[in-house]
Chains A and B, each alone.
Chain A
Amino acid sequence: QSALTQPPSASGSPGQSVTISCTGTSSDVGGYNYVSWYQQHPGKAPKLMIYEVSKRPSGVPDRFSGSKSGNTASLTVSGLQAEDEAEYYCSSYAGSNNLVFGGGTKVTVL
């Protein structure tokens, strides 16, 4: 299984929106509605932000939203805030109880 493809970086000004893509194949992203997104600040463990493509765990602001079209999933952060500056990783179920991660996207708040 190959890693999912994410852009290395994305940026936006406070209050703006930023969208991160996550491209896989029909064997992972395109084949299942089991895409999740994680936020990781430096030196910290990742935090689940979105699961099953578009569901938000309790406590995650509704500024974070997820979607999927074909083999590409997306995470949108609306109303960017300083604390949103972090690394974001996508992950997908890849069949046979396997998981695969994306390479990560560094989001910078300008």
Chain B
Amino acid sequence: QLQLQESGSGLVKPSQTLSLTCAVSGGSFSSGGYSWSWIRQPPGKGLEWIGRISHTGSTSYNPSLKSRVTISVDRSKNQFSLKLSSVTAADTAVYYCARVGPGGYLSYWGQGTLVTVSS
């Protein structure tokens, strides 16, 4: 059974860079046809797609976040990462990682990790 686990700093100061990693276990990280995504959910609000990366490293980002987001992959460690720069309180959210199937469905999700932006 494929499992995803987010890790990273739970508290980030305004204007700094948020960094998270998603470790993938129980399956092939480099399966053709699948990519890997980050999604976030501010407290009490809905889901927002952040971006995705293929196992080859090709990326796509939400246009509203594109200038601040970088998603990268480390195939040797079966993990992928998120960096979000110049954070503000509006970036406070639970951040999820997920596997993306062909056409964009998110079939496996991590448990989520809360990141708070505060001084």
Interface positions of A (Cβ within 8 A of B)? 1, 3, 32-34, 36, 38, 45-48, 51-52, 57, 89, 91-93, 96-104
Q: How far apart sit A107 and B94, CA to CA, in the bound complex (Å)?
A: 22
List chain B residues, Cβ under 8 A from A103. 46
Residue contact B46 to A57, C-beta cutoff 8 Å? no
CB distance from A33 to the nearest CB of B (A): 8
Contact for B63 among A1, A34, A38, A97, CB less than 8 A: A1
Contact for B46 among A34, A36, A45, A89, CB less than 8 A: A89
Residue contact B49 to A34, C-beta cutoff 8 Å? no
Residue contact B107 to A34, C-beta cutoff 8 Å? no
List chain A residues, Cβ under 8 A from B62. 1, 98
CB distance from B82 to the nearest CB of A (A): 15
In the complex, which residue of chain A has the Cβ closest to the Cβ of B109?
A45
Q: State whether the Cβ of B52 lies closer than 8 Å to any Cβ in chain A.
A: yes
Q: State whether the Cβ of B37 lies closer than 8 Å to any Cβ in chain A.
A: yes
Q: How far apart sit A97 and B37, CA to CA, in the bound complex (Å)?
A: 11
Kindly name the residue among B62, B96, B105, B106 whose own CB sees the greatest number of chain A CB atoms within 10 A.
B105
Q: How far apart sit A102 and B46, CA to CA, in the bound complex (Å)?
A: 8
Residue contact A36 to B112, C-beta cutoff 8 Å? no
